[in-house]
């Protein structure tokens, strides 16, 4: 029998119990920061998260050569609605990563996982970024990259309208504004960093 409306005795309704159990199961499936860092070390990567107030920086260093392979920067900020947002300002990867087995998507995923977990632990519900449009080819690759991670396109910031000005002041450029649900990102990708699971190469 289907449960409709709001039952006067929720504990007697199997639908409520099933939903709560499912949500609790999803929470347990999320990896901890230590899970992600342990998985990175197994791939010969040393990930470091440093914070200063709302700002953060994540660096990825090779455990074999001690060379820095990439970094990401951002901050935790409040939206106009009062919710906390993970603002992903930039991600930079060294050219050497192009020849590595894990390549851009692999190392970017490790760095992104740390950022997303940090946002989740800080109470953020949404992650936001701007896929910078420096060139049509590079921009299209960025949009595909972030779409594959789980971000969705929100709007184009071209500088051709007054409505673009706030975005340009916040992001410092033009491109495609993209958002993602923090928890959906955690469930989609970060579960690959749970113990006894292998991250995607």
CATH number at residue 27: 3.40.630.30
Count of domains in the chain?
A: 1
200: in domain: no
Give 35-84 pLDDT, tens digit per residue: 899 988 988 899 999 999 999 999 999 898 888 988 999 999 887 777 89
Look at residue 118 and tell me if it is in a domain. yes
What range defines the domain where residue 72 resides? 18-192
Q: What is the pLDDT of residues 19-48, one digit of tens each?
A: 443 444 456 578 889 889 998 898 889 999
Residues ≥6 apart with Cβ < 8 Å to 196: none
Q: What is the pLDDT of residue 175?
A: 82
Q: Identify whether 150 is part of a domain.
A: yes
Residue 47 main-chain phi, psi, to 5 deg: -100, 130
Q: pLDDT band at residue 108, thresholds of 50, 70 and 90?
A: confident
Residue 96 lies in a domain: yes
The Cα-based distances of 22 to 7, 16, 68, 128 in angstroms read: 19, 10, 40, 27
Q: Give residue-wise pLDDT tens across range 134-193.
A: 777 778 888 888 888 889 988 877 766 777 666 666 666 778 888 999 988 888 876 677
Confidence (pLDDT) at 96: 60
Q: How confident is the model at residue 90 (pLDDT cuts 50, 70, 90)?
A: confident
Contact 133, 173 (CB under 8 A): yes
Domain annotation covers residue 6? no
Residue 43 in any domain: the answer is yes
Do 179 and 151 contact (CB within 8 A), yes or no?
A: yes
In a domain, 10, yes or no: no
């Amino acid at each position: 029998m289907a449960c409709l409306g709001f039952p006067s005795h929720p504990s007697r309704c199997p639908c409520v119990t099933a939903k709560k159990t499912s949500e609790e199961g999803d929470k347990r499936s999320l990896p901890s920061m230590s899970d992600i860092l342990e998985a990175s070390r197994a791939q010969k990567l040393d990930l470091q998260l440093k914070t200063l107030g709302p700002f953060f920086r994540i660096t990825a260093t090779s455990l074999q050569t001690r060379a820095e392979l990439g970094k990401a920067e951002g901050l935790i900020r409040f939206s106009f609605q009062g919710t906390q947002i993970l603002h992903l300002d930039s991600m930079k990867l060294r050219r050497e990563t192009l020849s590595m087995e894990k390549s851009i998507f692999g190392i970017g995923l490790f760095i992104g996982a740390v950022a997303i977990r940090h946002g989740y632990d800080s109470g953020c519900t949404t992650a936001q970024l701007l896929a910078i449009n420096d060139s049509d080819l590079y921009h299209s690759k960025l949009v595909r990259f972030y779409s594959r991670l789980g971000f969705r396109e929100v709007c184009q910031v071209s500088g051709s309208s007054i409505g673009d000005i706030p975005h340009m002041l916040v992001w410092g450029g033009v491109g495609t504004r993209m958002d993602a649900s923090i928890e959906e990102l955690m469930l989609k990708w970060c579960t690959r960093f749970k113990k006894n699971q292998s991250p995607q190469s």
